[in-house]
């Protein structure tokens, strides 16, 4: 509003604040700092991984690292082929997703389409509790309860040592079911009711509506939930350390044998007795960098997939 210059003594008014409100400025700076903290921490982690990794690759060629099939950095003669522990990680993720995707999606469909409000009030918090169980407890549960249970239910399979990939994988799968179920259910509930009602009006049954109408409409959120669950499974350390054991230095695809994952190797080696500055020490960081890159690639694929499948409702 323009200041009227009529009348004596009327001060020229502006729209700016009368006093420079320093309090507001300080708060703005503090909040910005908090936001910047996450960026700083991520950069810090990347940098701390970078230098020992570079030192590692001065001694060992990238080709030998990525394509070698013998992982024996502490044995003589040393061998730094990372494939055995990568395969260990991928096997765990495979068995975990084999359990988590069907169970999680079925739970999500049940919770969003079928469950009456009473049942929902019980099941949803139960899922939250499952998500909150400490991973070390899940690991011990897998080793001491799931493994004997597996032997009892499937005695015809070739069970050998106590620590196996398949039991650890199933335990990780059970642990990530809440991630898949929760996020998928939210995605499905966000589908507009009009789509469902239209399908019912055309004579579809409940199952057909759930699987042929709601599920495809919510696919973007469902894919996001599966990717999140996979990231979690790749990075899971404690359960695999306890339940999947140390494994052999060479490549194996046997689910009934122990196998070491990247995370279990890092966890075991870092808490052991390796002098800093040696090649063994750098190996931990090289493995960590590989893990970081795997998860990063996973997340970038996820963003692309989610964008591609997203359906926008007006």
Partner 1 sequence: MIKPTNGVRAFAIAALLATVAAACGSSEGNEGGDQLTGTIRIDGSSTVAPLSEAAAELFMGENRDVQVTVAASGTSGGFQKFCIGENDMNDASRPIKESEVEQCGQNAIAYDAIQVANDALSLLVNAQNPVDCLTVEQATQVWDRGSKVKTWGQVTGLNAPGDFAGRQMTLYGPGSDSGTFDFFTDEINGEEGRIRIDYTNIGEDDRQAVDGIKSDVGAMGYVPYSYAQEAGEGVKALAIDGGGGCVDATLENVQNGSYVPLGRPLFVYASGTALAKPEVLAFMKFYVDNATSIADAASFVPLTEAQVAAQHQKIEELVSGVGQ
Shortest separation between residue 96's beta carbon and partner 1, angstroms: 22
Question: What residues contact residue 21 under an 8 Å CB cut-off, 6+ apart?
Answer: none
136 touching partner 1, by CB under 8 A = no
C-beta of 56 vs 71, nearer to partner 1: 71
152 versus 271: smaller Cβ distance to partner 1: 271
Question: In the complex with partner 1, which residue's Cβ is closer, 44 or 272?
Answer: 272
Q: Which H or E run includes 292?
A: helix 279-309
Task: Quote the tokens at residue 304.
Answer: 């692309």
> Applying CB under 8 A, does 130 fall inside the site for partner 1?
no
Cα–Cα distances in angstroms (integers) from residue 275 to residues 55, 222, 272, in the given order: 15, 45, 9
Interface residue with partner 1 among 102, 148, 161, 198 (CB under 8 A) is 161
DSSP-based three-state secondary structure for 250:
strand
In this structure, the chain runs to a length of 314
- The DSSP output letter for 216 is H
In order, the DSSP letters of 74-135 are TSSS-EE--HHHHHHHHHHHHHHHHHHHHHHHHHHHIIIII--HHHHHHHHHHHHHHHHS-H
CB atoms within 10 A of CB 304: 10
For residue 199, give both structure tokens: 């399908």
Binding footprint of partner 1, residue count (CB under 8 A):
21
- List for the chain the helix, strand, coil content (%; round to 5): 70, 0, 30
Q: Residue 62 or residue 270: which is nearer to partner 1 going by CB? A: 270
Instruction: State the nearest-atom distance from the C-beta of 153 to partner 1, in Å.
Output: 20
- Of the candidate residues 80, 258, 285, 288, the single one contacting partner 1 (CB under 8 A): 258
Considering the complex, state which of residue 119 and residue 246 has its C-beta at the smaller distance from partner 1: 246
Which string of x and - marks every residue 35-74 that binds partner 1 (by CB under 8 A)?
A: -----------------------------------x-x-x
Per-position x/- string for 259-288, each x denoting binding to partner 1 as judged by CB under 8 A, each - no binding: ---------xx-xxxxx-------------
Q: Which stretch binds partner 1 (CB under 8 A): 146-154, 243-251, 283-291, 304-312?
A: 243-251
Is 223 exposed, middle or buried, given 0-12, 13-18 or 19+ CB atoms closer than 10 A? buried
In whole angstroms, what is the distance from residue 143 CA to residue 247 CA?
15
The binder of partner 1 chosen from 250, 297, 301, 304 (CB under 8 A): 250
In the complex, the smallest distance separating the C-beta of residue 92 from partner 1, rounded to whole angstroms, is 17
Using the rule CB under 8 A, is 162 a contact of partner 1? yes
Residues that bind partner 1 (CB under 8 A): 70, 72, 74-76, 161-162, 245-250, 258, 268-269, 271-275
């Amino acid at each position: 509003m323009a200041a009227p210059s009529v009348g004596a003594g009327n001060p020229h008014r502006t729209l700016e604040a009368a006093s420079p409100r320093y309090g507001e400025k300080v708060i703005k700076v503090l909040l910005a700092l908090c936001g910047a903290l996450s960026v700083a921490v991520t950069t810090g982690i990347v940098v701390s991984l970078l230098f020992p990794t570079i030192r590692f690759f001065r001694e060992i060629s990238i080709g030998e690292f990525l394509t070698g099939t013998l992982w024996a950095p502490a044995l003589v003669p040393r061998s730094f082929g990372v494939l055995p522990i990568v395969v260990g990680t991928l096997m765990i993720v495979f068995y975990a997703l084999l359990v988590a995707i069907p169970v999680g999606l079925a739970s999500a469909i049940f919770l969003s389409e079928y469950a009456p409000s009473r049942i929902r009030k019980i099941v949803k918090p139960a899922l939250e509790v499952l998500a909150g169980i400490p991973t070390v407890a899940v690991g011990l549960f897998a080793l001491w309860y799931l493994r004997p249970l597996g032997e009892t239910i499937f005695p015809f399979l070739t069970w050998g040592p106590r620590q196996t990939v398949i039991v650890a994988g199933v335990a990780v799968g059970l642990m990530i079911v809440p991630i898949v179920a929760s996020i998928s259910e939210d995605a499905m509930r966000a589908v507009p009711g009009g789509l469902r009602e239209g399908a019912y009006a055309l004579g579809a049954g409940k199952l057909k509506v759930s699987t042929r109408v709601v599920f495809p409409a919510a696919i973007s959120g469902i894919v996001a939930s599966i990717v999140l669950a996979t990231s979690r499974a790749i990075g899971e350390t404690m359960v695999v350390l306890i339940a999947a054991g140390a494994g052999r230095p060479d490549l194996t695809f046997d689910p009934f044998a122990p196998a070491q994952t990247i995370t279990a190797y890092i966890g075991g080696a870092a808490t052991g007795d390796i002098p800093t500055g040696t090649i063994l020490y750098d190996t931990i960081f090289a493995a960590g960098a590989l893990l970081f890159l795997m998860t990063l690639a996973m997340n970038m694929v996820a963003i692309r997939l989610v964008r591609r499948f997203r359906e926008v409702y007006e």
